[in-house]
């Protein structure tokens, strides 16, 4: 198993090694020690490899992940798993702002809390937060699922399109065009699947409320013509 110690190995060497993996490579498990809050750790992965990061990271860790399984045994700075395409990213601690931003696929699991703008402009990613999230989360969420086992801050789902939001705790306020919606059997089934994948054992699907688009904001309404 290749081990990269970032206390004396340049970060560029780690990312270069991960980007040059050929088809059928025997190197499928990597360990990163002493990350020391480095930015852009394990970005642009496009192979089914497993990466264990033994500590906390800075900005944009695991960005653009496409098929990798990346575990951060600590907390993550802003933009973790930004624009993820597929694969799995797990944060054992907390995540800073805009975790999972613009994500198009895959699963992001945050076992602590997430700060503001979690899942902003999400486009198919599934995000499960064991704790709570900050304000403006899922802003302009287009598709995918955001599951919050704790509470949500102000303006949840502001200007949301068709992303589905599930919150177990309280919601400080809903953003423009975001409303509470009925939880149907298919939503409970999907929620149970996501909770199981994310290793959530302290919450049950029936304890959550569902939120989504009222589908009014992005449709022209002649009665409001003077406001456009």
pLDDT tens for the chain, 228 residues long, are: 889 999 999 999 999 999 887 656 667 899 999 999 999 999 999 989 999 999 999 999 999 999 999 999 999 999 999 999 999 999 999 999 999 999 999 999 999 999 999 999 999 999 999 999 999 999 999 999 999 999 999 999 999 999 999 999 999 999 999 999 999 999 999 999 999 999 999 999 999 999 999 988 766 565 655 654
Note whether 107 and 85 are within 8 A (CB): no
Which helix (H) or strand (E) is 193 found in, with range? Answer: helix 185-197
- For residues 145 and 77, give the distance between their C-alpha atoms in angstroms, rounded to a whole number: 22
Check residue 216 and give its pLDDT.
85
Let me know if domain 1-212 sits in CATH 2.160.20.60: yes
Q: Where along the chain do its domains lie?
A: 1-212
What pLDDT is stored for residue 228 in this prediction? 47
Q: Is 142 helix (H, G, I), strand (E, B) or coil?
A: coil
Tally of CB atoms within 10 A around 206: 9
pLDDT of residue 25: 66
pLDDT at 20: 85
Q: CA 63 to CA 78: how far, in whole Å?
A: 11
Task: Write down the pLDDT at residue 27.
Answer: 73
């Amino acid at each position: 198993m290749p081990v990269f110690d970032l206390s004396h190995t340049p970060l560029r060497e780690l990312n270069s090694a991960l980007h040059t993996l050929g088809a059928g490579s025997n190197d499928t498990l990597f360990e990163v020690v002493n990350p020391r809050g480095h930015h852009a750790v394990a970005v642009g992965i496009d192979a089914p490899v497993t990466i264990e990061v033994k500590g906390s990271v800075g900005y944009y860790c695991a960005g653009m992940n496409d098929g990798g399984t990346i575990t951060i045994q600590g907390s993550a700075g802003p933009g973790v798993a930004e624009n993820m395409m597929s694969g799995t990213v797990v944060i054992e601690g907390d995540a800073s702002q805009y975790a999972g931003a613009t994500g198009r696929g895959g699963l992001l699991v945050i076992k602590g809390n997430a700060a503001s703008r979690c899942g902003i402009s999400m486009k198919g990613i599934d995000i499960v937060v064991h704790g709570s999230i900050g304000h403006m989360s899922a802003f302009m969420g287009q598709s995918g699922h955001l599951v919050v086992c704790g509470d949500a801050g102000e303006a949840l789902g502001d200007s949301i399109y068709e992303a589905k939001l599930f919150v177990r705790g309280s919601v400080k306020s809903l953003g423009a065009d975001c409303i509470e919606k009925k939880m149907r059997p298919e939503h409970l089934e999907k929620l149970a699947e996501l909770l199981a994948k994310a290793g959530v054992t302290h919450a049950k699907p029936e304890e959550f409320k569902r939120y989504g688009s009222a589908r009014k904001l992005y449709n022209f309404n002649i009665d409001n013509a003077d406001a456009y």
